[in-house]
Every structure is written in structure tokens, then in C-alpha cells.
Structure 1
Amino acid sequence: MKLLRYGEPGAEKPGILDADGTIRDLSGLVPDLAGEVLHPEGLARIAEADVSALPRVEGDPRLGPPIAGTGKFICIGLNYADHAAESGMDVPPEPVIFMKATSAICGPNDPIVIPRGSEKTDWEVELAVIIGKKAKYVSEADAMDHVAGYAITNDVSERAFQAERAGQWTKGKSCDNFGQIGPWLVTKDEVADPQKLKMWLTVNGETMQNGSTETMVYGVAHLVHYLSQFMTLHPGDVISTGTPPGVGLGMKPQRYLKPGEVVELGIEGLGQQRQDVVADK
């Protein structure tokens, strides 16, 4: 299934994409795509519904993030060996964990907002793992039982805030509209192997990133297992699993986003995003 949320920010309704690519309204069946709805039993109830009988959503509504109620937005740094190399850093012996504020979350086509004082706003196409079932101390063998599905994220980053000022990475990762998610939550039954997905990103039509989840250092199952040893993962939590090479930081000379530019990105089977770059007011 391809699950989504549509409507104005803060007033999104749950929906599902039918076989023809038409949005169907799920609000008569579930209150939102959050909490227990993302549990295997909740997703099974949606799967049993006659999608063709659900109300059609007319027009071209804004898409919001495909899940609501996210408690944790967990990011994995340097999880592609070639990206670590372009960043001038070693592959870590364990996953590097940092958090992105949930207030950064926005829809897949909402603009990238360059914050005040920024000179180094960068792009990062990433595979997001959406938790559907509570995970605490889970084994790697059982980890995938706790995954609801997958989505695209753009882990937008302000590199000067992230690395050139004192403290941790969080403040360079958490500005408003630095966390586009979507367009859909694609349930895991539609993704044969999350470690074999092509991914790409362009700026103004020029290809910047062209990689594959196949080159991840730590795969999805290991990350869910690993994180669950340190914190309980809850339905709606997002794990953004790292980016392949091609970010602006790694270019010579470095290249960063400017107002008026357009970023497009996609992952095989998960759709694509398009974002206008604007300056914060």
C-alpha cells in the first residue's frame, strides 16, 4: 500500500493511493496514520478495505508527511562509505546517531527554507524507515517485524551550524522545513529488499546524487535492532538511514543551495519529491 496524508499543514487527512494513482480518503476508516494504525493489525485492516469504494479526493491537494505523531526523528550519520570519504571522515565502527527535531518535519513538496544566517544549506536524499510496532531490545532477526514501511526523506543540513559551531550536529539539522518526508509511506510488503533501492537527487535538473541503498554500511534490520538497545522505538518514529555521496559539502569547490533553486529527489518504488528553495522571512 501507498499511504499518505493530504491537506493544509496541521489539518491533513489520511489517504491511500489506488491502482490508478488516485488519492482515496481514508478518514472514514482511520482517524490518522499514527499510533496503533501503523501496527501490523492496523495496516491489515486498511489492506482489507475496498479501496475503489473509498471517496475520491479531487484536484491536486498538498501532500503532508505520510505519518503523524512522530515522537522521534532519528538520523544515522556517515552510513555510506563513499559519503564518509567525501566528508573526510572514517567509516564509524558503530552507527552514528543524531536527532532531528520533529518540528523540522514537513511535506514532500514543501519548500526548503534557508534559515537566517545560513551560508551552507545542503541536501541529502535518504531512505526513511517508519516504525509500526514498539521495539525494545529486539534482535536483528526480528527487527523487520517492527517496520511499517518506508519513505523518502531529504535530510536538509546547514553545514556551518552543524560542524563549524560548538556543540552537536542537531542544530544544523533541525531548522524549519529541514525534514521533508513522503510522498507516501510504502508498506514493507511492497519493497522486496530495502538494501537494493536506487536513489537520486538533482538541483536545477543537474544530477548531484546517484546511489543505491546497497552501499549502506549498516542496513535497515541492523539499525532497528541497534537503536532498540538504547531507546524504545514507537509507532510513527522515523529512522533516516544516511545518504550516498554527492552532497554539496563534498564538492570541490563546495556548492550550497540558494533561494530560487529547485531540488528534486527520489528512491526506486517510493516516489519522488520536489522542493523550491526559499529564504526564511
Structure 2
Amino acid sequence: MNLVTFTADGTQHWGVSAAGGSAPTGVVALSRDFPQWKTLRNVIEAGAIDKVLAAAEGRAVSHAEGGFVLDPPLPDPEKIICVGVNFPDRNAEYKDGQAAPPNMSLFPRFARSFTGHDRPLIRPPESPQLDYEGEIAVVIGRGGRRIPEGEALSHIAALTLCNEGTIRDWVRHAKFNVTQGKNWDGSGAIGPWLVPYRDPSQIVDVALCTRVNGEIRQQDRTGRMLFPVARQIAYISTFTTLVPGDIIVTGTPTGAGARFDPPIWLRPGDVVEVEADGIGTLRNSVADE
């Protein structure tokens, strides 16, 4: 079972998926059973993932497929921090003759910039350059400051998937930052669920791919990251305190639409799927705002 946040009849709930596979076909609502925890972030803060999973054992589906829509699993994180240029081929894409830098590139995303599984990514009227970036995201379970790299993976609570949708021309509006190109409302997606983290094998060398309309565009393994997840947690926690529910979006492989000649931007009707072994598939269509 995996953890989900969903909306049914205008009310947001959290609970667990009721079926395996790449995405839920039914869910079991648990939020009314635990009123002390408003969202899954509160469950993570309380260290109660195992408690809520145990409470779901043997429970009947409360909402069948078609009776709910999935939201981002964590609707209220304190921080979403994204790692840029984290695969060797991505560094080579820049064609600047420079080796991989000694430290990672980072930028923030706001929760409002993400939607949930099976909901459309939104292309704004200001630009047609909506692009995809398939990534694995880690959710912090045990917070800390200056977390040693050797202990970093023990601070993970769960894993999920991210399509870190980007408005490419707005990334280049300024000299030193990409924030405005990365934070358009509803331009990206997180989901479909949170997979509880149990073992380093879930993140250390995992296959990741992105498909657009069934065509593989991105494909790599986390074992080839320039900055592995443990290093990300250690580095980020040096300058900011990580807290339960924080999300680190760990980096995308080469193959985004901007790298084609000419570029291939997402258009209404396209379907983007981000898939990772052991986590599932995040699927989104595209629509105009």
C-alpha cells in the first residue's frame, strides 16, 4: 500500500491506495480516522506512516476509480527544492566545455506549481514553451541540519515522482536565476502516491524514464547521478534545516524537449508519463490555461 491525497465531492482526504500497479484504481480514506493529522505531512511529522498503513489493513475501498481525483501527495510542504543538471549527459548538453561543477545547482518550486496524477499540466498563454522533466522526488521524514552524508538516507520517509514542467523562455528571463520559469501554476506534477522508504536499494540505482505520447524521451539510472541523493540531503541541510515533509526533486536525465533541433514543446492533447522502478508511473495530459 502507498499513501495518497485525493479530492472527492469537493473535500480533500488522505489515505492509501487500494491496489498495486503503476497507479491507484481505488483508495481507502483514513483522514477521518486520524483527525489529529490534517495532511500526510502531519503523518510524516508524527512518524506514523506504519501506523496508518496498519489501520488500512483489511479495509474496503472507500472511493472507487472515477469517484476521486488525485492531488499532489503532500499538498503543504514547507520546502520544495530542486536539483538541476544532475546527470552527466545533462551537463554535456550545455556545450560550454566545462566539467561537472563541484557543487549542485538548486532552485525552489512552490506547491501551487504542481498538480496531481492524471490531471493536465497547464500551458499558459504567455508562452508555448512548456517542457517536461521526469524526476524522482524524495520526502524528508526525519529533519535536521548539517546531516552527515553517511546518515542522509535514513532521513527519507518516502519516494514519489515528479514532472518538473518548465516554461523554457521564462527560465532565461534573468542572468542568474530560473525561478520564474519553474513556478507557473499547475505547470508540473507530483505523484501518484508516496511509496514508503525502507531500503537504500529503492533510490541508489533505480531506472527512470519519461515518455511523451508513448515515445521514450528520457532514460537513465539514479546510479549515474553527479550528486547522489545522500549528497543532496547533506549539502542542502548545510544551509537550511530540513523538516519532515520537505521535498527534494533529485534531477532529470537528458532528453527534454528543449534539447531537440528544433525544440519539441508540449501541446494540448499530449500525454507525458514519468516512470521509475519500484515507484510507479506519473501520467499527465496537457491543456491550455
Scaled by the length of structure 1, what TM-score is found?
0.91
| Alignment partner of 1:16 is 2:20 | no
| Alignment partner of 1:268 is 2:272 | no
In the TM superposition, what whole-angstrom CA distance separates every residue of 1:111-145 from its partner, at most 9, and x where no partner exists? 11111221321100001011112221111122122
Equivalent residue letter for 1:53: R
Give percent identity, aligned residues only. Answer: 31
**Which residue of 2 is the match for residue 57 of structure 1?**
63
In the TM superposition, what whole-angstrom CA distance separates every residue of 1:218-246 from its partner, at most 9, and x where no partner exists? 11111111110011111211110110111
Q: Which moved more, 1:62-71 or 1:180-189?
A: 62-71
Cα distance in 2 for partners of 1:11, 1:172 equals: 31
Structure 1 residue 50 displacement after superposition:
4.7
| Alignment partner of 1:197 is 2:182 | no
Cα distance in 2 for partners of 1:121, 1:33 equals: 30
Cα distance in 2 for partners of 1:54, 1:43 equals: 19
In the TM superposition, what whole-angstrom CA distance separates every residue of 1:80-101 from its partner, at most 9, and x where no partner exists? 1111212335422101111112
How many pairs are equivalent?
A: 280
Please provide the CA RMSD for this pair.
Answer: 2.2
| Alignment partner of 1:88 is 2:95 | yes
For structure 1, the 5+ residue unaligned runs are none
Cα distance in 2 for partners of 1:255, 1:9 equals: 37
| Alignment partner of 1:66 is 2:70 | no
Structure 1 residue 211 displacement after superposition:
1.7
Matches within 5 A, 1:43-192: 43-53=49-59, 56-60=62-66, 61-88=68-95, 90=98, 91-166=100-175, 168-189=177-198, 192=201
Selected match of 1:27 from 24, 31, 40: 31
Q: Which moved more, 1:32-41 or 1:176-185?
A: 32-41
Q: Secondary structure at the match of 2:235?
A: helix
Equivalent residue letter for 1:210: Q
In the TM superposition, what whole-angstrom CA distance separates every residue of 1:154-212 from its partner, at most 9, and x where no partner exists? 00011110025455100000001123111010011166330221111111222111222
**Which residue of 1 is the match for residue 3 of structure 2?**
3
Q: Secondary structure at the match of 1:246?
A: coil
In the alignment, is the contact (CA less than 8 A) between 2:206 and 2:223 conserved in 1?
yes
Cα distance in 2 for partners of 1:221, 1:46 equals: 27
Q: Which moved more, 1:251-260 or 1:148-157?
A: 251-260
**Which residue of 1 is the match for residue 240 of structure 2?**
231
Structure 1 residue 54 displacement after superposition:
5.5
In the alignment, is the contact (CA less than 8 A) between 2:76 and 2:111 conserved in 1?
no
In the TM superposition, what whole-angstrom CA distance separates every residue of 1:29-77 from its partner, at most 9, and x where no partner exists? 3334434411473113224325213653223321111123211110001
Cα distance in 1 for partners of 2:200, 2:29 equals: 23
Q: Which moved more, 1:265-274 or 1:237-246?
A: 265-274
Cα distance in 2 for partners of 1:92, 1:141 equals: 22
In the alignment, is the contact (CA less than 8 A) between 1:40 and 1:133 conserved in 2?
no
In the alignment, is the contact (CA less than 8 A) between 2:117 and 2:189 conserved in 1?
yes
For structure 2, the 5+ residue unaligned runs are none
Q: 1:10/1:149 Cα in 2 relative to 1: closer, same or farther (>3 Å)?
A: farther
Equivalent residue letter for 1:143: A
Structure 1 residue 259 displacement after superposition:
2.0
Cα distance in 2 for partners of 1:13, 1:29 equals: 11
Equivalent residue letter for 1:177: G
Cα distance in 2 for partners of 1:97, 1:45 equals: 34
Cα distance in 2 for partners of 1:19, 1:272 equals: 14
Scaled by the length of structure 2, what TM-score is found?
0.89
Equivalent residue letter for 1:28: R
